[in-house]
Amino acid sequence: MLQRFYPDAYVDSAYEIPYDELYEKGWRGVIFDIDNTLVPHGAPADGRSRALVKRLLKKGFHVMMLSNNKEPRVKMFCDAVGTAYIYKANKPFPESYQKAMKQMKTQPDNTLFVGDQLFTDVWGAKRAGMRTFLVKPIHPKEEIQIVIKRFFEKIVLYFYQKERGKTGWK
């Protein structure tokens, strides 16, 4: 039952994913969550996030941001990194993931999702048929509803790591 929430890979950071290797294997789209995935919650784009997006676009990836946050926050970040976005995405429902893939002209079998939360980011992407990367949150400061979810995520991750090992990398 808990397997529905398992990511395809669990890594320390969005910045350590082997995007070049994935591109060579045919992956063409990357959809990111923003807060605590690429930058701390509410933080503006930084040099590292801008450089990552620039590198992915140069490589040939289509890149989009998908956030449950309101437009002013998402627009500020995406204008700085130069990507399209969907705000108030209503994750974990799959419709926004599907809309993002349609805009990027990619499919579930060649699109990756990278996020920091199991019950919104990962579960929604899995429901949309995508390969998922769960990353560790960048910063411990989070809103109370996320803190509560993190407690339950720890339970799922315990069983995930028991079954698959530290990363579950396939």
Q: What is the pLDDT of residues 111-145, one digit of tens each?
A: 999 999 888 999 999 999 999 999 999 866 666 66
- What mean pLDDT, rounded, does the chain reach? 90
| pLDDT score at 170 | 44
Low-confidence residues of the chain: pLDDT under 50: 169-170
| pLDDT score at 43 | 94
First to last CA, the chain: 20
What are 2-12's pLDDT values in tens digits?
788 889 999 99
Q: Taking a C-beta distance cutoff of 8 angstroms, is the pair 165, 8 a contact?
A: no
And the tokens for 115? 């996020």
pTM for the model stands at: 0.88
| pLDDT score at 97 | 98
Report how far residue 36's alpha carbon sits from residue 33's, in angstroms, rounded to the nearest whole number.
Answer: 8
Q: Taking a C-beta distance cutoff of 8 angstroms, is the pair 116, 33 a contact?
A: yes
| pLDDT score at 169 | 47
